[in-house]
Amino acid sequence: MLSDEQILSKAETLARQTAAAGVRDEQLALALVHLKRHQSIAATLALLAELKRSSFAKRTRQTPGQFAALEEHVGRALTGVSEWRQAAEIVGWARRLVSFYQPSSSPGRPRDEGGWRRGAGGRR
């Protein structure tokens, strides 16, 4: 069993790594939904491996790299996790945090470094 601190630490690391690779929260949501529906870490990791070879990977030039990073980083984050619920907590928190760690898409707009962004569901 992982402690809450370990779960949040893994989630933050996953969010930072996937954000740096350009993975979007919707892509992390694929893993989260699969974990919740099938309640199997192994099946979810198999899905992520399959996504790289699927027709979805050909949507844009960035998608193959995003799916490869998704598989790599989610797999690493879930190493040593045996319970699907804890895996879902890690991926769920990472999904919430990934947009915070992504570079700002508006070049002239400063990024909010003080905590949760406004409009992202959090309070200040």
CA distance 40 to 84: 6
Element holding 54 (H helix, E strand): none
Phi and psi angles of residue 2, each rounded to the nearest 5 degrees, phi first: -90, 150
Query: What sections of 39-118 are H helices per DSSP?
Result: 41-51, 63-77, 84-101
> Rounded to the nearest 10 degrees, how much is the dihedral formed by the CA atoms of 93, 21, 104, 29?
-40
CA atoms 119, 10, 78, 58: torsion sign: positive
> Exposed e or buried b for every residue in 45-83, given b needs 16+ CB within 10 A?
bebbeebbeeeebeeeeebbebbbbbbebbeebbeebee
User: Would you write out the chain's pLDDT as a tens digit for each of its 124 residues?
Assistant: 999 999 999 999 999 999 999 999 999 999 999 999 999 999 999 999 999 888 777 777 788 899 999 999 999 999 999 999 999 999 999 999 999 998 765 444 344 444 444 444 444 3
In terms of Cβ atoms closer than 10 Å to its own Cβ (0-12, 13-18, 19+), residue 31 is buried
Q: What's the pTM?
A: 0.79
What's the half-sphere exposure (Cβ side, CA atoms, 13 Å) at 32?
16
